[in-house]
Every structure is written in C-alpha cells, then in structure tokens.
Structure 1
Amino acid sequence: MGKRVALSWSGGKDSCMAFDLLVKQGYEVACLLTTVPKEIGRTFGHDEKTELIELQSEALSLPLHFVRCSLDRYTETFIEDLAQLKEQFQLEGIAFGDIYLDGHREWGENVADAVGLPALYPLWSKEEDSLQLLQNFIESGYKAVVIRIRLDVLDDTWLGRQLNEDFYVDIQSQTLCPMGEHGEFHTFVYDGPLFTHPIPLTHGEIITSERSKRLDIQPLIN
C-alpha cells in the first residue's frame, strides 16, 4: 500500500478524524479534495462556503483542490480530476472518511479504481461503534461546531452546538446515528492538534431548505 494519498475532505469531523488517523499511521496526505457542484456554488457535502474550506487547508498547511462539477456529471468529473491529481502529486492512494455505509464505500472504491488507485477508509467500523467514534473525536482535541441538521430528526437548537461532552450525552437521547452518518447533522472543524492556528468564527442566520436547516457561519476577521 502506498503512503502518499489524497483525502476527500468535507470540512467536518469525519474527514478530520480520517486525516488524523492517516498521519498517525504514517501516511503523507498530499492534498485535500472537496466537491463543489456548479449549480450550488457551495460544498456538496455540507453546503458550506468554499472560503471556509480554504481557511482549513491553510490552517492544516495542505494543498486544496475543488472538484467543480455539475450534478449530472459528479462522478465523471471526480474521476477526471483525480486522474490529474494522481500525476500532479504522485498519489499512491485516496482516502475517505466514511464509516459504515456500504454504498458510499462502493462509490469511493469505484472512482479510485478508475484511476488505478487503492481506496483507504481509516474510520471504517460497524454501525454500533458510532458512539465510541464520537467519543474518540471529542477526546482528540479537535473542535467542531454543528452547522447543518436534517429537519426530520433534529430541531434548530442543535445548530451552533459544540461537539463536547454535553453533546455526547444529549445526542444519545435522539433516534439517530451519533455520528450523523445518514446526514442527520453536519459539522465544521475549526481547530485541533494538526491545525497551525484556530479559525475564528461568527454565527450568522439560520437558513431553511426543504429538508434541512443550515447555520451560516462566517470567518471572524479582525
């Protein structure tokens, strides 16, 4: 297995945990990949501003590549960009932060195979291990805030909450995956052991869509 890898990056806790584990296992993360559908203009995974992802890449001292795709050519564009990055960074693998959803893993393995790379899943676990993974994140020293929730499982009081021990206790009273693997909630990581500096944030308005609510976080500029 090669050691120089790209990492699919959403900006949230899962991709951050994957990054941390990869480094501890001796991999060199050469670059971050974040998908940005042209129709949305924000990140695909969390509907986040691209400048916030750029601030993360700067704080992590890692190159960042936006896969700018249309929704109807999402996979094809991802493969095309990954092939170019393979040559540019001499990649020997690509890593994903998925935990236990087989369909997500199958997609990642297929796109990796299309360009001749192995796919790594450092967080891969059983569904019943999700609560322990949440605890691992909280104890890791990384700091994250909830930026998006699914309307059918959580109310907007969860928006803006920190992933801490209180969150760990309260999430267990809800009927959902404690790690939000089914999209129940999404997070933004703004500080931690591999960050060269924290990303100061301010909370803006709450934006409601058909299925979710999103907290419009902004970088705090001094």
Structure 2
Amino acid sequence: MERGMRVGILYSGGKDSNITMYKVYLQGYEIACLITIIPASDESMLFHYPNAAYTSIQAECLQLPLISSTSDGEASLEELLIKARERFGIDGVVSGAIASRYQYERFTSIASRVGLKHIAPCYGEDQYMHMQELLANNFSVMITSVSAYGLDASMLGRVIDAKLLSRLRDLSIKYGFNLSFEGGEAETFVLDMPLFRKRISVDGYRVHWDGVRGHIEFMDLSIKDKLVTLSSR
C-alpha cells in the first residue's frame, strides 16, 4: 500500500465502488476524483448500467469532482483515465472488483496502458463478509434492479438491512446466484455512507418489471443534511 497516493475511483454509484472508496480512504490514499462510465446499454461486462447517470448527485454529497462519459468501450475509459491523470494528478485508479477475474484483469490492463496502478481492495473477499461490512459501516444501499432467478419485483426499492441480507444469502444458496451481485444479478445505489457529507432521499420512483427482471426509475431525488459526518477526507 502506497499511503498518500492520489487516486481516482471508478464510480458506478453502487455498493462496491462506495465500499471500495471507503476502504482506500481508511488506508490513507488521497481520493482526487470520481470516474464514471455511463454504459450505452445494460449488456456491459465492465460497467454498471441502471443508475450511473445519478452519480453527479452522489459526487455532490461526497464533495468530490466527477468526470464521466457515455460509452461501453475500453477506449472511453482510457480517455477518462488520461483526463483524470492530467487534471487531478492521480497515480492510481481504484475499482470495486470482488470475484470477477475478468473485471480485475481488464481494469489492471487498462490502467497499465495509461501509466496508472490498479487498486482493488475488495478483490477476493468473501461475498457474505463483504455484504456484512456494508451494514457494519452504516451504508444505506438500495436495490435498483434485479435480473436473476430467485429475485423478484418485491426486492426493487428495498434498502438492504440484516434481515434482507439473510434472505438474500438463503436465495443465493438456493438459486446459485452471486450474493454480491457482481455478475449483474442485481444492481444497487448508495444513498448514504460514512464519506457522504449529505445523504440522498428517494422521494419517488417508478418500477419497471417484465415478469422476469426489472429496475426502478428514480422520479424524485433530494439531498438532505446529515447529523453526523466524517470531519475530513
């Protein structure tokens, strides 16, 4: 670990990019910016789709600069990483890869091509422990899409708590899906976490369900004050 290294966070707005950011913060890295690729479709194997367009609201809560682009290609990510390196002086890029060797190796390769170090503090973690860590650190994580057998429309819009996590664990064992959702079984959106200076309130959303999979469409989001925040980043 290179304490004090300036890094950019590959940021989708979901639980993995947020817990990853929190981990590198605790490890002493200097978080310089957020980097978001908004996929052109939901078929991307590298980038998360459903609510990436709302990362600007999370960036406001984090009080961090955000650079973004709409694309599915690695070339666009390379361009963003170069821009982040030149604009913010980053030496490394942080991803939320957990169990996917494909994601880990692709991000490592892309970062290397533009002269950056790839950091993935969650890679190889036990998936259940990873999910428990979110709860232990007071992350507010909403499920925004589901697309795996065993997950139905009742999950959409729910904030993960201990009871729901236990249910998800049982379902993942029964139906064989990835508990941390890294295979796209579900997507999440973080409403609050320790590094947020303010929190996000979901004041309205619409459910889209086709009988097999679905997602929520945010209709009204607002930013609220927090009673307790970390005093410095």
Q: TM-score, normalised by structure 2?
A: 0.85
Q: Equivalent residue of 1:107, what SS?
A: helix
Q: Does 1:183 align with 2:180?
A: no
Q: Does 1:47 align with 2:57?
A: no
CA-CA distance at 1:208 after TM superposition: 3.5
User: Once the two structures are aligned, what percentage of the paired residues are identical?
Assistant: 27
1:105-141 deviations in whole A, cap 9, x for unaligned? 0110011011011100011124xx1001111111111
CA distance in 1, matches of 2:188, 2:208: 15
Q: Which runs of 5+ in 2 are unaligned?
A: 224-233
Q: Counterpart of 1:217?
A: 218
- Deviations 1:31-57, CA, capped at 9 Å, x for gaps: 1111124578xxx5132262x211100
What does residue 198 of structure 1 align with?
Answer: 199
Q: 1:46 touches 1:148 (CA, 8 Å); kept in 2?
A: no
TM-score (norm 1): 0.89
Deviation at 1:78, TM superposition (A): 1.0
User: In 2, distance between residues paired with 1:77 and 1:221?
Assistant: 30
Alpha carbons of structure 1 residues 76 and 98: separation in structure 2 relative to 1, 3 Å: same
Aligned-residue CA RMSD (Å): 2.0
Report SS of the residue matched to 1:198.
strand
Unaligned runs of 5+ in 1: none
* Distance of 1:49 and 1:120 partners within structure 2: 21
SS of 2:37's equivalent in the other structure is strand
Matched, 1:172 2:169: yes
User: Structure 1 residues 143 and 114, CA, compared in 2 at 3 Å: closer, same or farther?
Assistant: same
Q: Structure 1 residues 182 and 49, CA, compared in 2 at 3 Å: closer, same or farther?
A: closer
Structure 1 position 112 matched with structure 2 position 78? no
The one-character-per-residue Cα deviations of 1:51-75 (angstroms, maximum 9, x if unpaired) are x211100000110111232x4xx11
Cα deviation, residue 217, structure 1: 2.3
Which 10-residue stretch deviates more, 81-90 or 23-32?
Answer: 81-90
* SS class of match (1:204): strand
Cα 1:209–1:66 shift into 2, 3 Å: farther
Q: Which runs of 4+ in 1 moved over 6 A?
A: none
- Contact 1:199–1:219 at 8 Å: present in 2 too? no
Distance 1:170 1:66, change over 3 A: same
**CA deviation digits over 1:11-32, x for unaligned, max 9?**
0111110010010000011111
1:154 to 146, 151, 154: 151
- 1:113-172, Cα deviation, whole Å (9 max, x unpaired): 11011100011124xx10011111111111111000014341111111111111111112
- Amino acid aligned to 2:60: E
Choose 209-218 or 97-106, whichever is displaced more.
209-218
For 1:49 and 1:105, the matched residues in 2 are separated by 20
> How far apart are residue 81 of structure 1 and its match?
2.0
Distance in 2 (CA, whole Å) between partners of 1:27 and 1:45 is 24
Secondary structure of 1:207's counterpart equals: strand
Aligned equivalent of 1:79: 78
How many angstroms does 1:203 deviate by?
Answer: 3.7
